[in-house]
Chains A and B, each alone.
Chain A
Amino acid sequence: MSLLGGRGGRGGRADDWSTQHDRARARLSERLDGPLDPEESHWLDEHLETCDECAVTAVEYAAQRLELRALRDRMPAPPRDLWARTATSIEREARHRALQPRGGPRRSALAPYALLAGAVAVAVVVGTLTSSQLPGIATATPAASSEIAVTNDTAPPGPTPLAVARQEVEYVSLDRNGQAKINTTQISEVCPTGAGTCATTQPSEVVSIGPLSSPETVFGSGDAPLVVLGDSANGSSVYAVARPDKTIGPGSTPSIRPTPSVKPTPSPSGSDTSGPTPPASPPIASTPPASSEPPAGTVEIASGLDVVDTTAAYAPNGSAFAFTARPSDGSHGPDIYLWTVGDPKARPITTDHRSVFGSWVGDVIVGSTVVTSDDGLTSTPAAFVLATDGQAAVALPQAGLAWRPAVDPTGGAAVYWAGTLEPTDADLGWRTVAGRLVVGRWSAATDASDGAAATPLTGDQSVERAETTIAEGPLADWDARWDETGTRLAVWVADTDDPTVGTLNLYVVDTFDGRIDLSNPPLEDERALAGFSIADGRLAWAAPAGSSGKAKHVKVLAWTNEGFGQVESAEGDFLLVR
């Protein structure tokens, strides 16, 4: 924090001088905490007699201890409602736990890891594309598409399952009539990597949310409304769908809220040999804009916009949702939009028409914009930070060339495009040209003591930021997301020919030195549809039809300190909620 750095220190001391005095200071400090061993004690006494400065230090250490201890008399009083708030959170947590059948022994077996692996387990939903965005992908929809079964904790026939901290995965299933349901599945055991398949169970909760027309991606955060990005006749539509009261328990009747009648979208004549075609497949034009017949509790929070990129997200605290969009009429380029939960509409929080959302860090948005050279020939990205009121945009001089930076939750590293951009003529947007998708140091400062983070980059960015290449450009699209601890990083890179499908990798961040091991990812080049969900302890994605000889299905990779394991769902038409 201080720009002074070591001003209080003395400059230019010789090594022997400093060694002696460092030793004295260490002993002085230790003496405050307990008796020194006799030899060191004797040495210290002798040193203090000959070193005035150290004698002064000794007095200052003693004095500052007294000052510190005096702060005890001014212990601040916690707010009165603190227990009520905490109890409510624990209550919520306990209810989630109650949903999950668990055996005592399994939990205690987890004990040494629970502090790490169990520290954060938040329901996150993953979004994928429906088959309407995936022409050519045969989607075999089972009769009960809502009952996606994720292999887990019935008695496994073969391999010993790996117990993991309880995880929730949510996904939205669509039936033939366009009725959507939120499915929640609890995962507590996975099949260790390479051990084959374990048994399956049903989702523990199925909640109807009414009809959704052409949803593409669904985002969730705790109990906040689902944000559904979908297609409509006039461009993208963005809805907030309130979560109905959950119906709890496997096999129970889903709670059906009264919903406006909606014309069931007829299945197109089944030329698809693999089974009934899911409801979202018909041509967009045949589907009325969903805003005309929204499910109960649904608010259209943006219209007349085209959503840009796959990167959009709820704030970590679930209070607001950020995404990038531009007017459907092509009047100008993209801005970052923010919807605050409870508001009627999302609003743009940038106005330069060339800004895109990168990620949240706490309640702050990190975005990037395009800087075009004076001769107009080169466009390069520049990152910035934006308070969510849209008033305090601040350039990040240390951020350098960084497009769509996905900053880890600790603010120490980010995945971003380091390279040049070019305008897309029709799209009023930008695409990557020459450069790399990298993971690099974000804020060099690891201690509050230095102001280095504010220093603009001067040298070679790739060196100063210790950038490591994830993928060489140009890239059609990508999505990088960190788990809540900042120790796992999932990166999805779109295929060039069909950017709705790509490859997903999971990387581990070394908690000791913060390095990211790209060479040996626990999940390597997995085929995945756009949109995945990562939370502390698990990664969930949708496997495209055709991978592993199956139709579209959800896969989950979960981990503990003991290892990694996977479960997968039955096949079906659904959207992972991210």
Chain B
Amino acid sequence: MVGGLSSDLGATRALLGGAAMSRAWDHDLAGLFVEELFAKHHGEIYAYLIRMIRDPELAADLTQDAFVKAYRAYDSLEKPENARAWLYQIAHRVALDHIRRQKIVRFLPWTGESRGAVPSAEHLVMEAHLSGDLQRALERIPERQRAALLLAELHDLTGLELAAALGVSHVAARALLTRARESLRQALASERLAEAEPRYTATSGDKQ
């Protein structure tokens, strides 16, 4: 599960379909390391980010961003065996930063004062990618909780790995997970209740 640096670069390059071009970082340990990390983990990092952000294009951009940050921050990785959790930690920060930036956009449709009456692009994209009450419920819980749940249940991070990825203590990670499960349970119940009712409640503000 955890990636070391048992590199077979030939195979890595073949997997990535990259031509054997000479690059500035071919002799750069950080570059080689990140290239291998990418080969092993980019799929799951992308999957994590798309579930956090809910926009395929943005998730791709942020995945790219996360690996570039990993390259920059290579020195901060003390043990190669922690690389996967470390990578998730970077991706998690990238996701949270993005979400915070977007919040200012996200509440726009609710004000009802839009002069141009154009829903934000992000909002439309979000809507397009909703599927199922589980997805909607996941969206309704706070993002740190959502992150904890996704990382634990979908990405198999446990204990200290989870704590490292979330950037919190072991105890705090466990508490976050507990809150997340309860939030999701309530959100799911509410989603399923809302399905049986006219859609004027939970997401009406989002639908305009």
Residues of A within 8 A of B (CB): 1-4, 6-9, 25-26, 28-30, 32-34, 57, 60-61, 64-65, 67-69, 71-72, 75-79, 82-87, 89-91, 93-95, 97-98, 107-108, 110-116, 118-121, 361-362, 364, 366, 385, 387, 389, 391-397, 407, 409-412, 442-443, 445, 447-449, 451, 453-454
Contact = CB atoms under 8 A, between A and B. Distances in A.
A443 B103 contact: yes
Contacts of A97: 24, 28
Contacts of A387: 118, 120-121
B104 A118 contact: no
Contacts of B199: none
Nearest to B106: A1
Interface string B91-117: 000000111111111111011011110
A59 to B, nearest CB: 10
B186 to A, nearest CB: 3
A82 B42 contact: yes
Nearest to B205: A3
Given A2-B187, A61-B181, A454 B74 contact: no
Contacts of B74: 114
B185 interface: yes
A30 B178 contact: yes
Given A362-B101, A364-B105, A391-B116, A448 B72 contact: no
Contacts of B120: 387, 392
B194 to A, nearest CB: 8
Nearest to A32: B181
A91 B75 contact: no
A93 B72 contact: yes
B60 A78 contact: yes
Contacts of A119: 69, 72-73
A394 B134 contact: no
B83 interface: no
B4 to A, nearest CB: 18
Nearest to B89: A115
Contacts of B101: 361-362, 409-411
B198 interface: no
Nearest to A79: B60
B47 A394 contact: no
B205 A64 contact: no
Contact of B186 (A8, A79, A412): A8
Nearest to B45: A78
A453 B203 CA distance: 16
B140 interface: yes
A512 to B, nearest CB: 12
Contacts of A449: 140-142, 183
Contacts of B11: none
Nearest to A364: B105
Contact of A64 (B111, B116, B143, B188): B188
Nearest to B141: A449
Contacts of A410: 97, 100-101
B38 A115 contact: no
B107 A451 contact: yes
A67 B134 contact: yes
B72 A361 contact: no
Contact of B178 (A25, A443, A447): A25
A447 B99 CA distance: 10
Given A33-B152, A392-B118, A76 B46 contact: yes
B116 A393 contact: yes
12 contacts: A1-B206, A33-B174, A64-B184, A79-B56, A86-B63, A362-B98, A364-B104, A391-B118, A394-B114, A397-B111, A409-B100, A451-B107
A86 to B, nearest CB: 5
Most interface-central of B90, B101, B134 (chain A CB within 10 A): B101
Interface in B47-96: 47, 50-51, 56, 59-60, 63-64, 67-69, 71-76, 78, 90
Most interface-central of A83, A86, A91, A447 (chain B CB within 10 A): A86
Interface string B141-171: 1111000011011100011000000000000
Nearest to A113: B76
Contact of A392 (B17, B24, B116, B150): B116
Nearest to A77: B43
A94 to B, nearest CB: 4
A94 B23 contact: yes
B18 interface: yes
B16 interface: yes
B23 A443 contact: no
A76 B47 contact: yes
B43 A115 contact: no
Contact of A366 (B104, B115, B154, B193): B104
Contact of B28 (A1, A78, A94, A391): A94
Nearest to A450: B142
Nearest to B175: A26
